[in-house]
Amino acid sequence: MRKRLSKNKRLTIAVAAVAVVAVAAVGFGVWSTTPAFCSALCHSPLANYVDGYYQTDLSQTSAGIRVHANAGLDCLSRHSRSTARQLGEAAHWATDGYQVDENGFLVKDETLLTKEFCTQSGCHTWEAVVDGTWGFAGNDEEFNPHASHQDGSVTCGDCHSIHQQNELYCAKCHDLNLPEGWVATSE
């Protein structure tokens, strides 16, 4: 004959099981907000990005990601999680549907690194960006890549890359000093 557990023992076991599940859920919730989570389970193409987030040697990564990391901003600061987005990303992961370039970086998403994206509430203000870049990198005060004569045809992503090396688009035509860690955009 089976011996039945007392009511107190059953209650203790139930409370312990709930506590273990709760601690695991909280731990998973905290981990799921870190850059390492993004590449650990679902987004294998994001390994390069996560490595850059944690990299301190600017010759090995983009200054853009270091500036954001040093400010305490992580992936979810700008890339929102929604059920629809996560289902779409799960489908890409399951079918290996991410398009990557020869270096393993995702093919450029034209909706990112636009003026609208970069000046979202709580991020950069366009006025501060323009005001702060006259005579950038020791160039004459007349030069400002954010007050371009290109009439808005140059987007933030033409120069700035959060995860790869920044390229100064203006250097295609102008002989300018480059900011530290930047290269000139080739023609």
Q: Per the domain annotation, does 119 fall within a domain?
A: yes
Q: Per the domain annotation, does 75 fall within a domain?
A: no
Q: Per the domain annotation, does 146 fall within a domain?
A: yes
Measuring CA to CA, how many Å separate 32 from each of 26, 39, 51, 76?
10, 10, 17, 10
Question: What CATH number is associated with residue 159?
Answer: 1.10.1130
Q: How confident is the model at residue 175 (pLDDT cuts 50, 70, 90)?
A: very high
Q: Per the domain annotation, does 158 fall within a domain?
A: yes
Looking at residue 101, what is its pLDDT? Answer: 76
Q: Per the domain annotation, does 113 fall within a domain?
A: yes
Q: Is the pLDDT of residue 42 over 60?
A: no
Q: Is the pLDDT of residue 134 over 80?
A: yes
Mean of the per-residue pLDDT values of the chain: 80
Global pTM value: 0.60
Q: How many domains does the chain have?
A: 1
Let me know: does 130 contact 147? Beta carbons within 8 Å: yes
Looking at residue 166, what is its pLDDT? Answer: 84
Q: Per the domain annotation, does 160 fall within a domain?
A: yes
100 or 22, which is more confident:
22
C-beta neighbour count of 169 within 10 angstroms: 19
161 or 159, which is more confident:
159
Q: Is the pLDDT of residue 40 over 60?
A: yes
3-state secondary structure of 168: strand
**Burial class, 181, CB count within 10 angstroms (exposed 0-12 / middle 13-18 / buried 19+):** middle
| Cα dihedral across residues 84, 164, 159, 76: positive or negative | positive
Read off the pLDDT of residues 56-80 as tens digits, 9 standing for 90 and up.
Answer: 765 555 667 777 888 888 777 777 7
Q: Per the domain annotation, does 128 fall within a domain?
A: yes
Q: Per the domain annotation, does 66 fall within a domain?
A: no
For the chain, give the percent of residues with pLDDT over 90.
Answer: 23
Q: Is the pLDDT of residue 30 over 60?
A: yes
- Closest C-alpha to 176, from 142, 125, 147, 126: 142
Looking at residue 60, what is its pLDDT? Answer: 56
3-state secondary structure of 107: coil
C-beta neighbour count of 50 within 10 angstroms: 21
Looking at residue 135, what is its pLDDT? Answer: 94
Q: How confident is the model at residue 178 (pLDDT cuts 50, 70, 90)?
A: very high
C-beta neighbour count of 145 within 10 angstroms: 24
Q: Residue type at 180?
A: E
Q: What is the mean pLDDT of residues 153-165?
A: 82
Looking at residue 140, what is its pLDDT? Answer: 93
Q: Which domain holds residue 174?
A: 108-187
